[in-house]
Structure 1
Amino acid sequence: MQDTPTSRRPLVLVIDDTPQNLSLMRDLLDAHYTVKLAPSGARGLEIAAATPPDLILLDVMMPDMDGYEVCRRLKAAPASADIPVIFVTAMTETENEEEGLALGAVDYITKPICAPIVLARVRSQLALKAAADLLRSRNALLAASNARVQELLYNILPVEVADELSASGEVKPVRHESASVLFTDFSGFTQTASTMPANRMVAELNDIFAAFDDICDELGVEKIKTIGDAYMAAAGLPKPCDDHAQRCVHAGLRMAAYMAMRNESAAFKWDLRIGIHSGPVVSGVVGKRKYAFDIWGDSVNLAARMESAGEVGRVNISAYTYDLVRATFNCEYRGKLDAKGKGLVGMYFADSVAEPAR
């Protein structure tokens, strides 16, 4: 990135109660800089607040408000705190210079004025300020860029995982002893998708999955990924929680309700199946340039089987998940059904939130 040069002349503010000194400084600086004159400290503060200059030449000995007080107020105001201040004084005692420098002044010029010295010091301080301004500008751009990168990372990975990756450059796999996994899929997707244009199909899926994302965010369920027309999410990871099964069942019921409501008016009707299983899983990040947070384990496979063995518009849960949510939801026992590769597995439909016992 190349820096864009500017033709604006630096603005120098001269604050001095002596008219002759103001005229002298104006004549000296006017050929190279835009010059503003202030005959008092109060007026100098007004100009600095309204039109912050690039540099201030400040007389020390002034009535009503001396240069030290003016400098103190300049440095206390955010708009003028970074403006370099050069004191102009007839005093030569070391303690006077120490006081000024302690207040934030960058230099001292002693009277009587020597034109080459004034010009050299003004030029030097303006160059330093220009470099500091450029550095601040680049730092601001870098901070904004880093914030955008972090925001994008949070959209790809769970917050805890993204922070670990940013801090250490890697994410260690973690075994979660108790979590719940939710799968959704559309029945007859291939046939339905073949009847619509590709851009319409993508728009439909994006609309539905965006609604699922909102549901998961509201309930504290972590979206894992989408695989074609399948949507995968989990609760209880990466941050453990005791109610992971309840969160997933709540999410599944809301997704089913959303699809039922959408199908009432939508041109294309989507038949959604939902399956949930709870158990141990392993989570981690894969990829070198395109990171992906994923989970593995038999619990993931069983959750997928719950979805494929379910029915359209219903939330099919395993017996293990049922044991975790039986006090929270009304559930309908389906019996032991064949789950591909797993044999007979006890399954339930979760129907609604259970009424509290009286």
Structure 2
Amino acid sequence: MRPTILIVDDEVTNIEIMNAVLEDDYEICFATSGEEALEVARMSMPDLILLDVLMPEIDGYEVCRQLKGDPALVDIPVIFTTALGDQEAEAKGLQMGAIDYVTKPLVPIVVRARVRNHLDMKRMRDELATLAVTDALTGLGNRRRMENQLTREIATLSLRGDALSVIILDVDFFKRFNDIYGHTEGDRCLSMVAAALNRAMLRAGDLAVRYGGEEFACMLPGTSHAEAMETARSILHRIAALGIPHSASDAASYVTVSMGVATAICTPGARPQSWISAADRQLYAAKAAGRNTVNGAEYEPAALMSF
């Protein structure tokens, strides 16, 4: 998949020039105003932004400030494009969070080289960031990955007023499992549960993580409560089908899980922890109901904010 570059300039001719320079190697999207740039950035999540400094209403500096203040967009590298060509303007842009400057008239070979270099650096940063949010045992994302991704998805889904569902699940009586079968078998059990969980993530944006210990979580963006409950029941059956013996469980003779599901429409300013807390509450209800089951609820945004 080719990297995506957002070109922002109020002069269409400049966009056409930069597009001609870059279109052979990258997917290009564009905006002709600061306000449009912020909207397109949130919708397309580009890998790099070429941002004109001098624009009417919202100039490039303000766009950059808002990009760097948005948790979902802060890591997107910004290269300013300008005809100003003075050191004070360049310093201001770098202080705002831009990574580089190119001056107009643009020199194609310079633009291509700088874009390529900064995308290579971003790729390396992304790879290191991936290692930092990956659980070493299961290969799933970890708690930090979940929290980071929730923040981004809530920001994106809020623009559409779309739903977000979160599933929290525990392996039932896992301490007893470790006590009887040993920690090596316990690790093997968690790895098998993780693989089954990952196979249940059917949409491109779905995410399964190991949240901690024997606890896992799933994020299902753009998923209704009915669909999320269906996914949870699928997970329940997939893990039961593994047939991992568990002679000390009060729920079954094999390894089972209990699950809580929380769904709500995303609104600006909504906190990721609200979904986690709501799903946790549903998980406790599932455990109280005897485990090896799913409990869930759909929340109004205002009610969710109280968690």
Q: Give the number of the structure with larger relative contact order, counting CA–CA contacts within 8 Å between residues 6 or more apart.
A: 2
TM-score w.r.t. the length of structure 1 is: 0.40
TM-score w.r.t. the length of structure 2 is: 0.46
Larger gyration radius, structure 1 or structure 2: 1
Structure 1 or 2: larger strand share? 1
